[in-house]
């Protein structure tokens, strides 16, 4: 087979262990999954109502234009319908953007660590990847700007950044955008937008900067991760250029229905955001009491330096039925990224971290036994 050279070295995305997998492997009954930043409070009950009233046949393809969802989202955001593109999660949108703009000879600029699919898709397309290390969890925008040249096609920004949770104020974003060449697409990934305490109106910037594309999702704040519905907002011209790279019927009928119903319940999202804010403050207090450094987060996750090998820490918690994400695979080798769960779930995590600290103090070599 004449594979692309880069395909011989790339690894497929490695998801965390599933709840059922952990139950089988560790002989546990009660598992708490806090590794993938799903909404611990579920989703709006309006979604179930809409799904229970689904009257179409599964033998038909879904609406390829997602027209009902398109109309509701456009009204919700106060944008034109032609400014929206709907995708199978934002992962697919990253893939579409990369496919449309990147090729050998082109380059893309991004922070590191950040969402790994930006780099993954750029490598597949044969483009040069220019990574600029974050500083205290924040994008180093001045160095990212310096990395742009005539062959730069895409700049990736992630706000709040995954895995650090740091939010980029609009003043910084505007200053950056003022200096980016107009023929370079800047993608602002706002997957965790619904969790930001007091978010800026980033959509207003599209009228000012036509080279801006904003991505959002129904997977996080809306709690619809398994339905895989993401979307992008930009100028109608940019969207029209991206659409030919979008696979037909890429969002399924039930996902479109669930997402449209979720928009009817902003109170659910507000309640989730408030509960998340209250619980993250408890993590801050816990870390401060125990001398653990962390990044102040505007997402529904927190990256904590547990002062030991991140893989070891994740495995230690896993054996107690707590699935978290090791920082070792995220660029922070002594950290763990923990989804902020419910009150009871977070108390379990903090108790387990207490045990971990005691264990490491007694066995510095990191023996799990």
Could you write out the DSSP letters of every residue in 12-57?
---PPPPHHHHHHHHT-S--EE-SS---TT---HHHHHHHHT--S-
- The predicted model gives 72-101 an average pLDDT of 98
Task: Report the percentage of the chain scoring pLDDT > 70.
Answer: 98
- Considering only CA atoms, which of 72, 74, 68, 101 is closest in space to residue 238? 101
- Considering only CA atoms, which of 315, 321, 351 is closest in space to residue 20? 321
Task: Report the percentage of the chain scoring pLDDT > 90.
Answer: 88
pLDDT tens digits along 50-63: 999 998 788 999 99
Number of helices (H), then strands (E), belonging to the chain: the values are 12, 12
Residue 307 has pLDDT above 60, yes or no: yes
Return the pLDDT at 83: 98
Residue 42 has pLDDT above 90, yes or no: yes
Residue 369 has pLDDT above 80, yes or no: no
**Angle subtended by helix axes 343-362 and 310-318, to nearest 10:** 120
Confidence of residue 365 (pLDDT cuts 50, 70, 90): low
Return the pLDDT at 9: 83
Cβ atoms 213, 232 nearer than 8 A: yes
- The predicted model gives 266-286 an average pLDDT of 98
Return the pLDDT at 368: 61
Residue span(s) of the chain under CATH 3.40.640.10 come to 46-262
Return the pLDDT at 19: 84
- The predicted model gives 21-28 an average pLDDT of 81
**Global confidence as pTM:** 0.94
Which residues are within 8 A (CB) of 66 and not within 5 positions of it... i.e. 6 or more apart?
86, 251, 256
> Do the bridges between strand 322-323 and strand 32-33 make them parallel or antiparallel, or are there none, so unpaired?
parallel
For residue 21, count other CB atoms closer than 10 A to its CB: 12
Mean pLDDT, the chain, whole residue set: 95
Query: What CATH number should be reported for the domain whose range is 5-42+267-362?
Result: 3.90.1150.10
What is the Cα–Cα distance from 95 to 241, expressed in whole angstroms?
Answer: 14
Q: Which SS3 state, helix, strand or coil, does residue 158 take?
A: strand
Residue span(s) of the chain under CATH 3.90.1150.10 come to 5-42+267-362
pLDDT tens digits along 326-351: 999 999 999 999 999 999 999 999 99
Q: Which SS3 state, helix, strand or coil, does residue 333 take?
A: coil
CA 76 to chain centre: 21
Provide the greatest CA pair distance for the chain: 61
Return the pLDDT at 334: 97
Query: What CATH number should be reported for the domain whose range is 46-262?
Result: 3.40.640.10
């Amino acid at each position: 087979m004449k594979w692309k050279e880069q395909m011989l070295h790339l690894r497929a995305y490695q998801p965390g262990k599933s709840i059922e997998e952990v139950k089988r492997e560790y002989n546990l009954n009660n598992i708490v999954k806090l590794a993938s930043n799903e909404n611990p409070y579920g989703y709006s009950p309006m979604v179930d109502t809409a799904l229970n009233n689904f009257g179409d046949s599964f033998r038909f393809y879904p609406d390829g234009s997602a027209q009902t969802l398109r109309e509701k989202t456009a009204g919700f955001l106060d944008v034109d319908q032609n400014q929206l593109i709907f995708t199978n999660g934002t992962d697919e949108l990253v893939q579409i953007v990369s496919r449309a703009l990147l090729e050998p000879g082109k380059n893309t600029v991004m922070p590191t660590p950040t969402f790994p699919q930006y780099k993954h898709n750029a490598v597949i397309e044969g483009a040069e990847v220019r990574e600029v290390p974050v500083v205290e969890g924040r994008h180093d925008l001045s160095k990212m700007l310096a990395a742009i040249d005539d062959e730069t096609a895409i700049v990736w920004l992630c706000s709040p950044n995954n895995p650090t949770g740091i939010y980029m104020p609009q003043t910084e974003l505007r200053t950056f955008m003022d200096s980016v060449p107009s023929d370079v697409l800047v993608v602002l990934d706002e997957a965790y937008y619904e969790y930001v305490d007091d978010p800026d109106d980033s959509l207003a910037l599209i009228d000012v900067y036509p080279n801006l594309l904003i991505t959002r999702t129904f997977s996080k704040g809306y709690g619809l991760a398994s339905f895989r519905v993401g979307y992008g907002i930009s100028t109608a011209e940019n969207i029209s250029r991206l659409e030919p790279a979008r696979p037909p019927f890429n969002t399924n009928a039930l996902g479109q229905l669930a997402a449209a119903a979720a928009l009817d319940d902003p109170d659910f999202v507000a309640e989730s955001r408030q509960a998340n804010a209250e619980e993250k403050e408890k993590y801050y207090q816990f870390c401060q009491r125990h001398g653990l450094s962390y990044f102040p987060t505007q997402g529904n996750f927190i990256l904590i330096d547990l002062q030991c090998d991140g893989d070891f820490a994740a495995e230690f918690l896993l054996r107690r039925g707590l699935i978290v994400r090791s920082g070792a695979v995220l660029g922070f080798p002594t950290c763990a990224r923990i989804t902020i769960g419910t009150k009871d779930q977070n108390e379990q995590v903090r108790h387990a971290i207490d045990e971990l600290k005691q264990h490491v103090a007694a066995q510095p070599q990191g023996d799990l036994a």
